[in-house]
Every structure is written in C-alpha cells, then in structure tokens.
Amino acid sequence: MNHDGRLFVGTGGQISSGDVSGSSAPCDGATVSNTDLVLITGGPESDQVSIDMSGPGGPFVKPGTSDEIPIHVDLGDEPSCDPQTGCTGETQAVTIIGTPGPDDIRAGVNRSYGVDPFRQKVNVDASSDDDPDVLISDTSKIEIDGGGGADTIAGLGGSGTGSDPVSLTMRGGPGDDRLIGGGYFNLIYPGAGTDDVIPSPRGGDEISYEDAPHGILCSEFCTVISDGFGATDYVDGNFRTLRGSEHHDQMDEEYGGGPTVLLGGAGNDTLIGSDEAHETLDGGPGNDHLAADQGDSSPGLDFENFDHLYGGSGNDVLTGSADPDYLDGGPGNDVLNGGRGIQRFISGGFRIVATDELVGGPGNDLLNGGPDGDRYEFYAPTGRETDTIREGSHRGRDTLVFNYSELDFLGAPRISTRINLSARGTHIGTSGRRALRVASAGDAANLENVVTVGLGADKIIGNARHNEISTYYGTDTIITRDSGKDTVDCGGGGADTAIVDRFDKVHDCKRVRRRRAAPAPGWRHPPR
C-alpha cells in the first residue's frame, strides 16, 4: 500500500485499504488468514497512513491464535513539498486507532547503533505480550488514538518497543484513560472521561482541549482540570502548554509550577498567570481578560523571562505584573494596563533597563502605562482608529514607537506621523489614519521619547522634558523645546530638518537650525 491511505480489518477478517491516492488496490483479497506481513511504503508525496482497529474485525490477529500480523511502515524521507504533485505540506505521519474496548498501547524507539530501518515501535496489546506490532521508520510522526474504552497509551518505551522514549500525539477518546508522555514533546488530547495524564519528565508537553464541547476550568497549578466534557482530569507532572477549548475558558495558574503557556482559543477567556513564574498568555479570538499576576522581581532576569500577553482578535483587557511585560492587544478595541514594571540587568556586557511594552494593534485602544517608563509601539493602522494613552506624572521615561518599515519597503503607501508632545489638549497627533490622544488634557507633557521608522514625512515636536527623538527614513522635521538637553537623530535617510536649542545633541540631520531663545508655542494641534 502506498501514498496517503487507511488500513483496517473488517468483517470476516478482510484487510482492506481506503482513501489511497495510488492507482493500485494492494489489499484486494487479503485477510488475516492469508497474510503474514503488511508492508506500507511511501511515495514521492507526503504520506499519511492510518491503521484502524476500531472496526468489527478487531486487531490484526490470525483467527484462532494469538499470533499478530506485523505491520512495517517505511514512508521514506520527508519530501520537499511541491504543490504541483498534490503535496499537502504535512509531515510523514502514522496514526494508530485502538479498538472500541480498553487498549494498552506502548511506543518507544531503539536508538542503539546499528542498521534498523524501523527504529520506532508500537505494541498495540502490551498487557498481553512484549512483541511490537507496528514498526515505523524514523522519519514519521506517530499519533495514537485510544478510541472507546479505558485506554493506556505510553511513549516511554519497553514492552518490546525499545529502550528509549518517543514523542507522540495521544488522543484518549471516550473513557477513563491513562496517558503517559515520553520523548521531549508530546501533544496530548485527553478527551472525554476522567483521565490521568503523566507528561514527559522533560516538561515540554502540550495538553489540549481544543476539541472540548464546553470551556475548561483550572486553578492553582492547573493540574486538576475540568475538561469541558463534564469530567475532571488529573495531571501528575510538569508540562509546558495548556490549550483551552473554542469556548469560554478559565485558567488561573495562581501559584506557579504549572504550565508556562496558556492558550485560550476562541471564546471569551480568562487567563491569569502565576506570581512565581513568567508566562505567555494568548487569549485568541474573543473578548478576553488576561492578567500576568504579580510577577517575580528576582534579579538576573532577561527579556525572555518577562510575561508576554496576547489578546488576539476581540475587545480584550490585558494587565501586566510588577515586572516589565509585553502586552499586545491584537485586533479590536482593547485596554492594556502595564502596571509598575521596570527591571535592570546585564546582558552581553551591557546594562539594560527594561520596561513594559504595549502594542494596541488594530482598533480603538486604551493604553495604561503605569508609574514606570513604558514603550508604546504602533504598527500600520488598518482603518480609522483612535488610540488613547494614559500617563501620569512620574519618574519613568516613556517612548512612542511608530514602526512602518516593513510596509514601506514592500511598496505600500507611505504613512506620515505628526506628534506634538507640547499639546495642551488631549489630541496629540496623527499617524496615517490613526488619531493619537492622551486621557487627560496636558498629559502629553509626561511623554519623553518618539521613534518613527518609515518613509513617510514625519513632524515631531518635543516638550520641556529631556526628549530623545529619532526619525528613520523619509523627509522629516523635528522641533525641540527649551530643555537644552534633548537628543535628535534624523537617521540620515532624507532631507531632514532639525530646529533645536543650541545645547541639544543632533545626529544625521541635513539641515540644523539652532536657536538661542525659547521657541514660540507654535504648532498646537497637528492636522488630521
């Protein structure tokens, strides 16, 4: 049997194949009575093979005996995907579906030296014998679906499958199952029933409930999970990722020590990280509430260890921790609360001061930076939108970043940015079709730095604080106020103009005008 297909035993012990893309029907006339070995080989396309024991014929056993019919699967190397040949771009994969009753399926790999084209081995009835039934070449991904019944699926090796663990995709299906991870990464779908999950000791597994008909619920370490099917699952061990359903999920890790990645999926989700670790929270589609909890202000942190919150599409509320956080609201009208977040550390010999980073995304967003310095990053608007920044008076230094370089260099229309940090009202500028406001009149005076990256003609006016203003590419105009301690960098990409105090530092500006007296109030409201 070759190419994408399915192999199963039917009534009367007939061995047949279906959904085969090749021109032959290699299993015609084959039964469990006249077959000693089933060999499945791959073709030039990506191959997906399913070995299904859920039918009335049961497992691949000779009638009247306990002798199993071995199945060897060699799909060859993973092909380079050519759409002209019908390639789907999927990896080589073998799926084994258990019987309707309880199964004990063990998998492992033989990593010892020597020639063994079938190093991955699966024993589909490990409670009865130590003989592997399905032998699979190294290049194939293995998925095991227990089907109905109280099943045990394990990837730790043993029971004739080899001495080393193997990574699997495991589906418990209906029934009270026991799922045991091996290898480094396992994708585990507990399914319906009261399931026991033991992740791989290496801690890289993902437990997924994306097929659940209702939302999931977990708290504390997220090791006791209301599974969305009406039962409770128990997790014994560390795992990396918990993926929720397409409904309203509630995941509150609270104490740490559980998963470090919480994925909400569709639905209005509530995801709360722990106060002892740093997590990635992704709400996905829907109106989500994400909170990084209190964070861990221990020394020695770096950028990778900060909390990352992604709202996804929908009207989301994201709240950071006491440490620096990355908040990205995604499409929709979002509220981002940075909180108090600043951290100083050494990286690569450089002293780094890290702050909260808030990315509103498409839509009308409210960005609350908090008392420490914050970085507000804006990408190209997808339509008319208004973003509002709430910044009170504090010691932190805040930065506005308008990053349009990718669109500009792809030939998209150039986006011009006009920002006035001296604005007395709430409207402080525009950037393309985006209007930018502050929550209270005069709050623009609490913003210090502006960075624009793009080919548009930008105009930036500073305020009485010590500003750092950088405009890269385009023909830009920068006007500082009277602090005398501003830094201006035009990037050298165009015929830029800088109007500055005589003590300001200026880099790469084609025209520089230095004044001796304070400038006139001037440009109060930039044009839309």
The predicted-structure confidence for 181-203, as pLDDT tens digits, reads as follows 998 899 999 999 999 999 999 98
Tell me the mean pLDDT in the region 268-289: 91
- For residues 222 and 263, is the Cβ–Cβ distance under 8 A? no
Q: What's the pLDDT tens digit per position in 221-270? A: 899 999 999 999 999 999 999 999 999 999 998 777 788 999 999 999 99
Residues 8, 14, 19, 23, CA torsion sign: positive
Q: Does the pLDDT value for residue 14 go beyond 70?
A: no
Q: What's the pLDDT tens digit per position in 478-496? A: 999 876 789 999 987 779 9
Tell me the mean pLDDT in the region 80-94: 58
Q: What's the pLDDT tens digit per position in 318-376? A: 998 877 888 999 999 999 998 655 544 434 444 444 578 899 889 999 999 877 789 99
Higher model confidence: residue 481 or residue 271? Answer: 271
Confidence of residue 306 (pLDDT cuts 50, 70, 90): confident
Q: Does the pLDDT value for residue 2 go beyond 50?
A: no
- Tokens read off for 16: 């047949």
Q: Does the pLDDT value for residue 397 go beyond 90?
A: no
Confidence of residue 61 (pLDDT cuts 50, 70, 90): confident
Q: Which long-range contacts (CB under 8 A, 24 or more apart) does 302-309 make?
A: 302/345, 302/347, 302/352, 303/347, 303/354, 305/278, 306/278, 306/343, 306/354, 307/273, 307/278, 307/279, 307/280, 307/281, 308/279, 308/280, 308/281, 309/280, 309/281, 309/282
Weakest mean pLDDT among 148-152, 214-218, 501-505, 513-517: 513-517
Please work out, in degrees rounded to the nearest 5, the angle formed at the alpha carbon of residue 214 by the alpha carbons of 208 and 215. Answer: 65
- For residues 144 and 167, is the Cβ–Cβ distance under 8 A? no
Mean pLDDT of the chain: 84
Q: What's the pLDDT tens digit per position in 486-526? A: 999 998 777 999 999 989 999 999 999 998 755 545 444 44
Q: Does the pLDDT value for residue 43 go beyond 70?
A: no
3-class DSSP state of 408? helix
Confidence of residue 20 (pLDDT cuts 50, 70, 90): very low
Alpha-carbon dihedral 453, 459, 463, 468, rounded to 10 degrees: 30
Tell me the mean pLDDT in the region 388-400: 85
Q: Percent of the chain having pLDDT more than 70?
A: 80
In single-letter form, the type of residue at position 348 comes to G
Bridge-based pairing of strands 342-347 and 325-328 is unpaired
Confidence of residue 79 (pLDDT cuts 50, 70, 90): low
The model's pTM is 0.84
Cα 102 to Cα 97: distance, rounded to the nearest angstrom: 12
